[in-house]
Structure 1
C-alpha cells in the first residue's frame, strides 16, 4: 500500500470555503482505500489530508481523473500552499 499525509494551507480566511469544495467533490477513485480531510485545530488555515492507496501508481492515476481535475481547478485559487507532505507505507488498520 501507499500512503500520503499532508497539510494544505488555505488562503487566509478561506479555509471553510476550500473545505466545502474538497468535501463536496469526493468521488470514487480506483485503488483508494481511505481519503480523510480534516481541519488542523492548531492552524486556522490548515487542512490535513490523509490518503491510503493500493499503490503509488493508483494514486498517480487518480490525478488524471476528470472529477479530480475539476476539483483541483475549482480549489486552486483558495490554496495558499502545502507545508507538510509525508509518504508512508501503510500496513493495515480499520477500513483498509
Structure 2
C-alpha cells in the first residue's frame, strides 16, 4: 500500500470552500483509493489535513492524470495559501483498509 499525509492552509476564510472542493474529488470516485480523509485542524482555523491510502503508488499517480480530478484540483488551487510537503507512508493495515 501507499499512503500520504498532507497539510495545507487555505486562504483566510476559505477553509470550508476548499474542503468542499476536496470532497468533490471523493464524489468522482478514485479507483485504487482505499481511504481518503479530509480533516480540519482544530488548532488552526485555516488548516486542512488530508490522509490517503492507495493500493499502490501507481494507482495514486494514475488518479492524478484523470481529467475530472485535475479539474477539481485546479478549482481548489486559488484557495490554497500554503501547501506543505506530504509525508509518504507505507500503511500496513487498519480499520477499513485491510
Aligned counterparts, 1:13-32, within 5 A = 13-26=13-26, 27-32=28-33
Aligned CA RMSD, in angstroms, stands at 1.1
Stretches (4+) displaced over 3 A: none
Q: Which runs of 5+ in 1 are unaligned?
A: none
Q: What is the CA–CA distance in structure 1 between the aligned matches of 2:85 and 2:39, rounded to whole Å?
A: 14
Normalising by structure 2, report the TM-score: 0.91
Q: Which runs of 5+ in 2 are unaligned?
A: none
Give how far 1:30 is off. Answer: 1.2
Q: What is the CA–CA distance in structure 1 between the aligned matches of 2:30 and 2:14, rounded to whole Å?
A: 26
Q: Tell me the number of residue pairs that the alignment of Structure 1 and Structure 2 aligns.
A: 96
